[in-house]
Amino acid sequence: MTGKYWIYLTDKEVFDSQTCARQLDQLGATVDAHAATRRAKSMPDRIVDFHDLPVASSYVEQLHQLGLDVVHESRWLNAVSVRATRAQLAAVAVLPFVSEIAPVLGTRRHGEPDGIIERFSPDAGRRDSEPAAPGDPFDYGPSRAQLEQINVIAAHQAGLSGAGVIVGVFDTGFEHDHPAFSQIVSEGRLLAQYDFVNDDPETQNESGDDSSQHAHGTFTWSALGGFAEGELVGPAYGASFLLAKTEDITSETPVEEDNWVAAAEWADQLGVDVISTSLSYIDWYTYEDMDGDTAPITIAADIAASRGIVVCVSAGNQGGTAWYYIGAPADADSIIAVGAVDADNILAEFSSHGPTYDGRTKPEVLALGVHTHCAIPVELGADYADVSGTSLSCPLVGGVAALVVEAHPNWPPMLVRQQLLDTADNAATPDNDRGWGLVDTYGAITAVSGTPGDPLPAAPLLVAYPNPSRHGVWLEGRLATAQGPVSVEIFDPAGRLVRRLDGAESRQSIFWDGRSDVGRAVAPGIYYARWQSGEWQASTKLILQGS
């Protein structure tokens, strides 16, 4: 019997630092320009690292020679997913370059609130159109309430639309011909698409697909970036898009996580700035696995964030079930897990809860996930309807993230995340039901810089993120004009110098790894950072938590 497995490899056939450096230099020169700019926000010293080197081709060839069907190669995980028999796996297990063999896990699509796919009915509820308010840039129709709830309209009034930002939507498939996407398609803002289920470049329904295969993706893409004046406007209606079909809705077929990993690496190479993914893997996992370091899809999501990508993930719809908690990849520590509320800002009963197994607060933020207005494929009986689930709250926040990236193109993803958390309505008392709360789009955009798009103020400003932190903290001194070389000093509460970091240029980030000048990990607790550049200096408090 054939199954699907991860084959993890010991190395990439790079055995000395000089060879590694040379290959990284060569690889860095080939990175897409948009991707290079994005990566530099999180990787200022070198825009590629060992994770980006390709899987060793000679190892892959040996797997082929053993008769294995290689499905995906993952640079980030240094692994390949294969279809193989147990006899073939026995032969693979003794190869010297194989470190581990594990099943490719997945999840069966669980029925979402209101049965949004197979049991969908347009009579289940449809939001009434709301009259345009003074200052509205256009008629939002029934989608106005879901945007007003998270303060998107103020960002639109300030001229933000997601323009110039590349958003990747990973889902079941998409109805490109829907009127909600006509502007995206006609303006050439659908940059690329790929079907990772069937290994072809088409994400619309194809021969053999379930008739509803493209439904869920149509819901999510439209909620994020659709535009049909008087009916539906997504937060990032002016963004550009990459579409990845990573899920098969057929009930017998598990949605396999290697498709998602492959899609993330593909989108990274094409310059994606924001990923929005409305899925939650729980089958074949245990709650103990929700620790941020176990599920391959979780590891890949964190690696994506380390490459400058803002990753938004549905928290899941298991809040009313025995599972209760978030699933993978929402357990990742560098992503934004999104729960759901209703129109009155009351937590949806289905919205999955935290904490992660290792004790981190989840979800991060909330948006409307009860009767969210979106586009639906015509075979479901209408063009637009209201749909429920964290699958719909997630793309709203994905669109918000695109607006923040547009307003602050130099912000790395962890700062985008931190600003969304710090300005949400539960930021003072985050918990494992609401997280940091309902997002405030315009508040996140203006909390640092005043007006979207304006230069940063000349007043001193030092930002630390994440804060509190378990594994080190980024410090960013933001100046309107360069002041010269930077030095950062870390002090303990008694005023003793713990660490000195030098060399960053003004308006760049510098990372403190939680260690002293002699390389020892410091104790958890409160510390103070002082940033100095020329005549300018600023300080901030840091909180290091135990790992």
Q: Please spell the DSSP secondary structure of 270-322, one letter per residue.
A: TT-SEEEE---B-TT--GGGTTTTSSHHHHHHHHHHHTT-EEEEE--S-TTSS
Together in a domain, 384 and 291: yes
Q: What is the pLDDT of residue 449?
A: 43
Q: What is the pLDDT of residue 476?
A: 74
Structural domains counted in the chain: 3
- The last residue of one of the domains, among 104, 132, 166, is 104
Q: Give the alpha-carbon dihedral of 260, 220, 248, 364, to 10 degrees.
A: 50
Would you say residue 111 lies in a domain? Answer: no
Together in a domain, 438 and 480: no
Q: What is the pLDDT of residue 118?
A: 29
β-partners of residue 325 are 353
β-partners of residue 531 are 488, 538
- DSSP E strands: which ranges in 126-215? 166-171, 190-195
Q: What is the pLDDT of residue 62?
A: 98
The reply to whether omega before 44 is within 30° of 0 (cis) is no
Task: Assign 207 a pLDDT band (cuts: 50, 70, 90).
Answer: confident
Model pLDDT for residues 6-31, shown as the tens digit of each residue: 999 999 998 888 888 899 999 999 99
Contact 327, 60 (CB under 8 A): no
Would you say residue 456 lies in a domain? Answer: no
Q: What is the pLDDT of residue 545?
A: 73
Together in a domain, 429 and 468: no
Question: Higher pLDDT residue, 505 or 178?
Answer: 178
Length in residues, the chain: 547
End-to-end CA distance of the chain: 42
- The one-letter amino acid code at 27 reads L
Q: What is the pLDDT of residue 469?
A: 76
Average pLDDT along the chain: 88
Together in a domain, 95 and 170: no
- Is residue 391 among the annotated active site residues? yes
* Arithmetic mean of pLDDT, 134-159: 94
Would you say residue 358 lies in a domain? Answer: yes
Would you say residue 269 lies in a domain? Answer: yes
Q: What is the pLDDT of residue 536?
A: 72
- The last residue of one of the domains, among 449, 471, 498, is 449
Together in a domain, 445 and 469: no
Together in a domain, 151 and 235: yes
Q: Domain of 27? A: 3-104
- The one-letter amino acid code at 21 reads A
Would you say residue 115 lies in a domain? Answer: no
Together in a domain, 34 and 10: yes
* Arithmetic mean of pLDDT, 167-190: 97
Task: Assign 249 a pLDDT band (cuts: 50, 70, 90).
Answer: confident
How many CA atoms lie less than 13 Å away from 289 in the CB half-sphere?
17
Together in a domain, 354 and 228: yes
* DSSP symbol at 495: -
Catalytic residue among 176, 216, 353, 373: 216
Model pLDDT for residues 348-403, shown as the tens digit of each residue: 999 999 999 999 999 999 999 999 999 999 888 789 999 999 999 999 999 999 99
* Arithmetic mean of pLDDT, 229-235: 97
Catalytic residue among 74, 81, 156, 171: 171
Q: What is the pLDDT of residue 546?
A: 67
Q: What is the pLDDT of residue 83?
A: 95
Look-up of token digits 């060839």 = 61
CATH number where 220 lies:
3.40.50.200
Write down the pTM of the prediction. 0.81
Could you tell me the CA-to-CA distances from 151 to 37, 253, 367, 400, 420 in Å, in that order?
A: 29, 39, 11, 9, 12
Question: Over 70: is that where the pLDDT of 304 sits?
Answer: yes
* Arithmetic mean of pLDDT, 149-161: 96
Model pLDDT for residues 55-79, shown as the tens digit of each residue: 999 999 999 999 999 999 999 999 9
- The last residue of one of the domains, among 416, 449, 482, is 449
- DSSP E strands: which ranges in 136-294? 166-171, 190-195, 227-228, 232-233, 240-245, 255-256, 274-277
Sequence-distant (6+) residues with CB within 8 A of 16 are none
* DSSP symbol at 121: -
Q: What is the pLDDT of residue 208?
A: 77
Model pLDDT for residues 274-297, shown as the tens digit of each residue: 999 999 988 889 999 999 999 999
Would you say residue 109 lies in a domain? Answer: no
Q: Is 390 helix (H, G, I), strand (E, B) or coil?
A: helix
CATH number where 478 lies:
2.60.40.4070
- Is residue 176 among the annotated active site residues? no
Distance separating alpha carbons of residues 213 and 232, to the nearest angstrom: 22
Q: Could you tell me what percent of the chain has a pLDDT over 70? A: 89
Task: Assign 115 a pLDDT band (cuts: 50, 70, 90).
Answer: very low
Q: What is the pLDDT of residue 120?
A: 39
Catalytic residue among 388, 391, 469, 509: 391
Together in a domain, 491 and 360: no
Model pLDDT for residues 472-490, shown as the tens digit of each residue: 888 877 554 456 778 899 9
Would you say residue 265 lies in a domain? Answer: yes
Model pLDDT for residues 407-430, shown as the tens digit of each residue: 999 999 999 999 999 999 999 999
Question: Over 90: is that where the pLDDT of 218 sits?
Answer: yes
Q: What is the pLDDT of residue 123?
A: 39
Task: Assign 129 a pLDDT band (cuts: 50, 70, 90).
Answer: low
User: Which has the minimum average pLDDT: 64-68, 124-128, 235-239?
Assistant: 124-128
Together in a domain, 297 and 386: yes
Distance separating alpha carbons of residues 544 and 547, to the nearest angstrom: 9
Distance separating alpha carbons of residues 409 and 415, to the nearest angstrom: 11
Together in a domain, 445 and 466: no
Question: Over 70: is that where the pLDDT of 43 sits?
Answer: yes
* Arithmetic mean of pLDDT, 417-444: 97
Q: What is the pLDDT of residue 109?
A: 54
Distance separating alpha carbons of residues 297 and 309, to the nearest angstrom: 15
Together in a domain, 300 and 175: yes
Would you say residue 169 lies in a domain? Answer: yes
Q: What is the pLDDT of residue 213?
A: 84
